[in-house]
Amino acid sequence: MSTHVIDSHVGKKIRELRNLAGVSQTKLAEALDVSFQQIQKYEIAANRVSASKLFEVSKFFNVPIGVFFPDQDERTGVSGINADEAGLVRAYREASPEIRTAIRSLTRSLGMEQDSSRSGNHEAQAE
């Protein structure tokens, strides 16, 4: 029997949320009262996640249950993140409010700088 695309997506979202939160498979397993091997199987879609376990996972990560389904990703424009991005989010969440403000200011500045350099390149090419 082959793995259904939804089962794969659910498993990937569990892994993504777990990595984003900096939670080990063991810690998630303990919270769900399953083995860490079961979490591994969920994440690779070797085993399906029951509706009740999926509900528990959504409560553990404090996310709506719809997050685990592909159409939710399309509506929100959110797709999978890599380990570097997850690390940035974790660091941001752990930072003080002052540091968060500085990070937001820096990223806005860098974005504006990148936008102005792009428009400058277009002007140079037009000449």
Question: CB within 8 A of 26, min separation 6: which ones?
Answer: 36
Most confident of 42-46, 94-98, 119-123: 42-46
pLDDT in tens, 13-22: 999 999 888 8
pLDDT in tens, 22-62: 899 999 999 999 999 999 999 999 999 999 999 999 999 88
Angstrom distance (rounded) from CA 97 to CA 106? 14
Look up the domain containing 78 and give its range. Answer: 5-94
Helices (H) and strands (E) in the chain, counts: 7, 0
What's the mean pLDDT when you consider all of the chain?
83
Domain shared by 25 and 47, yes or no: yes
- At residue 63 the predicted structure's pLDDT band, cuts being 50, 70 and 90, is confident
Q: How many domains does the chain have?
A: 2
Domain shared by 71 and 100, yes or no: no
pTM over 0.85: no
Domain shared by 22 and 47, yes or no: yes
Please report, rounded to a whole number, the percentage of residues in the chain having pLDDT higher than 70.
80
Domain shared by 61 and 110, yes or no: no
Domain shared by 18 and 77, yes or no: yes
* pLDDT given at position 14: 95
